[in-house]
């Protein structure tokens, strides 16, 4: 019988990595917030997303690390940590790929659809991306635990869906496209390496098959 110990150990190791990755990510975001606050939030203005401004396209990468106030970063930090950890605990490498896709889809979506007179910044687009990814990952990977996690998160954080609707003064475009990026990430980065192998033939059947082949050979067939 195949031992399950190594698999459990690998999952625990990946979960530990996921925990420290999210702690490190929050540490970076809060450190940037201090510098941003000291500068009067000029970093958010300079490196946030300005829709339809070609010079602002590189800011798609920097905008999720910037916020507009302490209340803004506090509101994002909790969901970012929870959803980020749940997105990463099965594999940090895949998580980083999913994160890159979410940032790209969320940022480009906001760049194409947001108000050109406004500047968008904040990690909420990534938060909604992780949320969407968690909801569908279990179904695409066919993992019962992840399906249960997705259902529980959908029920516990159902209020998050309101952030996908148009609202004045909120970058809902980044939310919506981040969420769609998370859904796409669940499909694109789904597990594909589960090959269905034919079970080995039991020894009794192998003997019967050999005898049958011998008889056919004797008959000249």
Instruction: Say if 205 falls within a structural domain.
Output: no
**Could you tell me which residues are beta bridge partners of residue 119?**
50
Choose among 48, 172, 175: nearest CA to 118: 48
What total number of domains does the chain contain?
1
H/E element, 119: strand 119-120
Choose among 61, 31, 39: nearest CA to 48: 61
H/E element, 49: strand 49-50
57-81: pLDDT as tens digits: 999 999 999 999 999 999 999 999 9
Domain span at residue 100?
Answer: 5-193
DSSP 8-class letter at 103: H
Inter-residue contact 72 to 6 (CB < 8 Å):
no
3-class secondary structure, 120: strand
**Could you tell me which residues are beta bridge partners of residue 50?**
119
Looking at residue 9, its pLDDT comes to 85
Q: With pLDDT > 70 as the criterion, what percentage of the chain qualifies?
A: 84
Q: Which residues touch 136 (CB under 8 Å, ≥6 apart)?
A: 150, 182, 183, 186, 187
> What do you get for the CA distance between the two ends of the chain, in Å?
40
Inter-residue contact 160 to 125 (CB < 8 Å):
no
Instruction: Say if 210 falls within a structural domain.
Output: no
207-216: pLDDT as tens digits: 555 655 555 4
Instruction: Say if 214 falls within a structural domain.
Output: no
CATH number of domain containing 32: 1.20.1540.10
Instruction: Say if 21 falls within a structural domain.
Output: yes
Over the chain (221 residues), what is each successive 10-residue block's mean pLDDT?
Answer: 58 93 98 98 98 97 98 97 96 96 98 96 98 96 93 94 90 97 97 56 53 51 46
Instruction: Say if 216 falls within a structural domain.
Output: no
């Amino acid at each position: 019988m195949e031992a399950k110990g190594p698999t459990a150990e690998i999952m625990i190791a990946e979960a530990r990595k996921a925990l420290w990755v999210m702690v490190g990510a929050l540490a970076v975001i809060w450190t940037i917030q201090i510098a941003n606050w000291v500068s009067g939030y000029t970093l958010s203005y300079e490196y946030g997303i300005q829709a339809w401004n070609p010079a602002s396209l590189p800011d798609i990468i920097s905008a999720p690390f910037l916020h507009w106030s302490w209340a803004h970063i506090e509101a994002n930090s909790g969901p970012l940590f929870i959803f980020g950890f749940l997105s990463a605990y099965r594999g940090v490498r895949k998580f980083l790929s999913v994160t890159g896709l979410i940032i790209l889809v969320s940022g480009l979506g906001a760049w194409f659809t947001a108000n050109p007179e406004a500047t968008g910044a904040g990690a909420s687009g990534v938060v909604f991306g992780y949320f969407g990814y968690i909801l569908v990952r279990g179904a695409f990977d066919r993992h019962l635990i992840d399906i249960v996690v997705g259902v529980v998160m959908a029920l516990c954080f159902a209020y998050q869906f309101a952030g996908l609707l148009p609202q004045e003064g909120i970058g809902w475009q980044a939310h919506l496209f981040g969420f769609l990026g998370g859904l796409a990430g669940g499909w694109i980065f789904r597990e594909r390496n589960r090959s269905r192998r034919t079970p080995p033939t039991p020894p009794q059947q192998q003997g019967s098959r050999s005898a049958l082949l011998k008889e056919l050979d004797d008959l000249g067939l």
